[in-house]
Structures are given as C-alpha cells and as structure tokens.
A = this chain, B = another copy of it.
Amino acid sequence: MGVQSLIVGIQNPLALEALKLSQQPEHSLSALTYRKLLAGKSAAGKLTPEDIEVMSSLPIHFMDIRADQDIVREGDRPSRSCILFEGLAAWWNLTAKGKRQILSFPIPGDIPDLNSLHLDVLDATLSTLTTCKVGFVQHEVVKTVCAEYPRIAEFLWRSTLIDAAIFRQWVTNVGGRSAYSRIAHLLCETIVRLQAIGLSDGVTCSFPVTQQELGDATGLSIVHVNRTLKQLREADFLTHKDEKLTILDWAGLVEAAEFEPAYLHLR
C-alpha cells in the first residue's frame, strides 16, 4: 500500500489514524503527545481542532535514533521530512578546512528539515546529539494536506520562517557579538525555546551539549568556550553540571547576551 492510497483517505482523519496504527503498531505515539508539542508552538492557536486532528493523524514512520547519527546529509534528496519528538539534534556544515559549524539546535516539536519539502537538495547535515525519537512524514502527504488545509500550510510555512529568523539571529550572534555575549545568547535562546514547549521552567533545563559543540555553534574554540563559560559561572549567572543548565540570574544573563526574544516569534 503506497502513499497515494493513504492520501485518498485523508479527508477522514480517523481512517488514517487506523491505518497508521495498523502500520506502525510498535512505535505509535499518542496523538496527545503530538498535540502537546503543537501547543507549545506559536500560532498553533490559529489551527482548528480539526487541523490538529489531521496533523495528529498523518501516516508517520516513527524511529528511535541513537546519539551522533546523521538523520539526513548534505546532498541528500529526501522524499520525507522528520518531526523531532524527543531529544536534541543539530544542523551543521563542514568548511573546506574541516571546521564544523553548527547552524541550529532543533528541539522537540520542530520539523527541522521541512525545508526539503520544496528544496530538492539538502545544503546541510542534520544529526542527533542525543538519542532521539523522530517521525518521518512523506512529502507527498504533507503537500496533499497543505493543499486541503490552508491553515496547516500557513502553520508549516510559518514554522520555516521562524527557523529562518533564528538563522538570521545566529548570523548576528557569531558575526557581531563577543565570545561572552555569544555563548550567553545561545543559552538564553535555547532555554526560552525549551520553555515554550514545556521542557524548561525558565530556570533549569536538560542541556546535553558539550563545550566542543558549543564552540562549533558559536564559532569559538573549545578552550575559549571553556574560559568564557567559567566567566559566566563566576558572574553567578548560571551553573552547568551533569548536562543540566541552571540559570541563577536571568536578568544578568539576558543583559550579557543582549538577548531580545522577539525573533523567536513566540506567543
């Protein structure tokens, strides 16, 4: 049974749900989980209950992926996109001199490679940083849904626009800020995004990112990251132990980071 026959049934979400469950019994994720992630997304408010039901009912191929695996690679021509349900991922690029530049840290609820829906070839690589639970949705399915449910199309388009806004801010961050502000900014951004999806209370969060990875994300050497983090700790802004980040002085960190969260387009 191909995607086409699934698409035919898309007017009836419950039928799809049944299909999905019959196909992926071992990895089914409750629609509730998905709804909860959606709830954390800005502008999800514009979606009707029917829209959410449709999105929760798409035929999804679930997969648990271990840490440090490539989900999709630069040069790939995917016919599906992945939704991240659990875990932390990273988009990255290699420069000709072998330096790895991390471009963003997708978090649960993100559809990191939704860009491949309308771009044939991937221009970066998406990897897991931790064990991840992801779901793959065929592009054809997404396109059919977009054609039938304009609010979902707008929601998805908008989510790619927010990704772009975050990339813009990263340009400003690595191009225009000191090491100190740069790292503080990345931490502010991450904790605010995690808070939006309920994975942080704004004070503490799981943060399984090595200093090497922080350096790759901010364009700094690992040694300099280490010294800069130490400064941030000594300023009593935060602690980072056992993959757990705790903010001790949010106002101070925000000021150090020059952080203004409007670009995240939350709320």
Q: Give A residues with C-beta under 8 Å from B.
A: 75, 91, 93, 95-97, 99-101, 103, 115, 118-121, 123-124, 147, 150, 153-154, 157-158, 160-165, 167-172, 174-177, 181, 218-219, 258, 262-263, 265
Given contacts A160-B157, A165-B115, contact A262 B176 (CB under 8 A): no
Of chain B, the residue at the smallest CB distance from A164 is B164
Q: Contact check, A103 vs B168: say whether CB atoms are below 8 A apart.
A: yes
Report the bound CA distance from A120 to B218 in whole Å: 28
Report, nearest first, the 10 A-B pairs whose CB atoms are least far apart. Answer: A175-B219, A96-B258, A164-B164, A167-B167, A174-B175, A123-B263, A101-B176, A118-B158, A101-B172, A95-B176
Of chain B, the residue at the smallest CB distance from A170 is B171
- Copies of this chain, complex-wide, total 2
- Are the CB atoms of A123 and B262 closer together than 8 Å? yes
Distance (whole angstroms) from the CB of A148 to the closest CB of chain B: 11
The secondary-structure label for the interface of chain A is helix
Chain B min CB distance to A162 (Å)? 7
Contact present for A177 and B95 (CB under 8 Å): yes
Tell me which residues across on chain B come within 8 A of A170, comparing CB atoms: 167, 171, 175
- B258 touching A97 by the CB < 8 A rule? yes
Nearest CB of B to A111, in Å? 13
Question: Judging by beta carbons under 8 Å apart, are A258 and B164 in contact?
Answer: no
In the assembled complex, 10 residue pairs joining A and B whose CB atoms fall closer than 8 Å, in A order, are: A95-B176, A96-B258, A101-B176, A118-B154, A120-B265, A124-B168, A160-B160, A163-B164, A167-B170, A170-B171
Query: A153–B157 Cα gap in the complex (Å)?
Result: 10
Determine the chain B residues whose CB is within 8 A of the CB of A150 once the complex forms: 147
Give the nearest-CB partner of A256 in chain B: B96
Question: Complex: how many Å from CA A168 to CA B158?
Answer: 17
Minimum C-beta distance from A254 to chain B (A): 10
* A172 with B121, Cβ < 8 A, contacts A115-B161, A115-B164 known: no
CB of A175 within 8 A of CB of B262, answer no
Contacts of A161 in B (CB 8 A): 115, 118-119, 160, 164
B-chain residues with CB within 8 Å of residue A172 when the two chains form the complex: 93, 95, 101, 103
Beyond the given A101-B172, A174-B219, could you list 20 further A-B residue pairs with CB under 8 A, ordered by the A residue number? Answer: A75-B262, A91-B168, A95-B172, A101-B176, A115-B161, A115-B164, A115-B165, A120-B265, A123-B263, A147-B150, A153-B153, A157-B157, A160-B160, A170-B171, A170-B175, A171-B171, A171-B174, A174-B174, A174-B175, A175-B175
